Chains A and B, each alone.
Chain A
Amino acid sequence: DQQVKQNSPSLSVQEGRISILNCDYTNSMFDYFLWYKKYPAEGPTFLISISSIKDKNEDGRFTVFLNKSAKHLSLHIVPSQPGDSAVYFCAASPYTGKLIFGQGTTLQVKP
């Protein structure tokens, strides 16, 4: 039973445009959400997070939006750059000390 789902395996965007990566979850008890970025043969690196008490969090070019009623979060990257090309994982925390990851979305930013 996939509690965190990223339904788009891949996304291709032109450099300078907006990238929108989506994530859905099923458990209303999740209270903390994170996005990780991963390059091939490397460990994921933390990108941005959001608590369930907020609906938006920004960090430079990256913004995460949380819609609790729809159990949906999204990551916006503006403007997209070729170096953003990577696999992006969303993750949710059901309780302290555990994270559940989605399947990942491969983003390709074309020059």
Chain B
Amino acid sequence: DGGITQSPKYLFRKEGQNVTLSCEQNLNHDAMYWYRQDPGQGLRLIYYSQIVNDFQKGDIAEGYSVSREKKESFPLTVTSAQKNPTAFYLCASMARKTGSEKLFFGSGTQLSVL
């Protein structure tokens, strides 16, 4: 049963702490993405990776870091430099096929600050 798995479902961060959100996919997709959802602001792109060992900044990359060591995995670290981390984080993947840019999303991680 193919899909995208995000964990944990809920995560709490203390002041000054780095936290890592996990994202794993078994769809054999080349490209993976991290979005952040805030109320009334839609989905904003944080980072994306179109191939292993390569990634690009999205629109709101400050305070975040990623790695792409394996095709299946694209973890996101929310660093202490991210001053407003409370949001719903969504991981997605896409097969690299022109004319069919369809993203498949995980079920999300809600990050809150203690």
Q: Is B57 an interface residue (CB 8 A)?
A: no
Q: Is B43 an interface residue (CB 8 A)?
A: yes
Q: Is the CB of B106 within 8 A of A96?
A: no
Q: Is the CB of B102 within 8 A of A89?
A: no
Q: Looking across the interface, which residue of chain A has its beta carbon closest to that of B104?
A: A46
Q: Is the CB of A99 within 8 A of B88?
A: no
Q: Is the CB of A45 within 8 A of B105?
A: yes
Main secondary structure of the interface of B (DSSP, over half): strand
Q: Is A32 an interface residue (CB 8 A)?
A: yes
Q: How far is the CA of A103 from the CA of B35 in the complex (A)?
A: 13
Task: Contacts A42-B107, A44-B90 given; indicate if A96 touches B98 (C-beta within 8 A).
Answer: yes
Q: How far is the CA of A26 from the CA of B86 in the complex (A)?
A: 30
Q: Is the CB of A97 within 8 A of B102?
A: no
Q: Is A63 an interface residue (CB 8 A)?
A: no
Task: Contacts A41-B110, A43-B108, A44-B90 given; indicate if A103 touches B41 (C-beta within 8 A).
Answer: yes
Number of chain B residues whose Cβ lies closer than 8 Å to a Cβ of chain A? 29
Q: How far is the CA of A36 from the CA of B101 in the complex (A)?
A: 13
Closest approach, in angstroms, between the C-beta of A109 and any C-beta of chain B? 21
Q: Is B50 an interface residue (CB 8 A)?
A: yes
Beta-carbon contacts under 8 Å, B12-65 to A:
31, 35, 40-45, 48, 50
Residues on the A chain within 8 Å of B44, using CB: 101
Closest approach, in angstroms, between the C-beta of A70 and any C-beta of chain B? 21
Task: Contacts A9-B40, A101-B42, A101-B43 given; indicate if A46 touches B101 (C-beta within 8 A).
Answer: no
Beta-carbon contacts under 8 Å, A10-47 to B:
32, 34, 36, 41-46
Q: Is the CB of B40 within 8 A of A99?
A: no
**Hey, which bits of chain A sit against chain B, CB under 8 A?**
6, 9, 32, 34, 36, 41-46, 49, 51, 89, 91, 93, 96-104
Task: Pick 22 A–B contacts, CB within 8 A, sort by A.
Answer: A41-B88, A41-B110, A42-B108, A43-B6, A43-B105, A43-B106, A44-B103, A44-B105, A46-B103, A46-B104, A49-B102, A96-B96, A96-B101, A97-B50, A97-B94, A97-B96, A98-B48, A99-B101, A101-B43, A102-B42, A104-B40, A104-B42
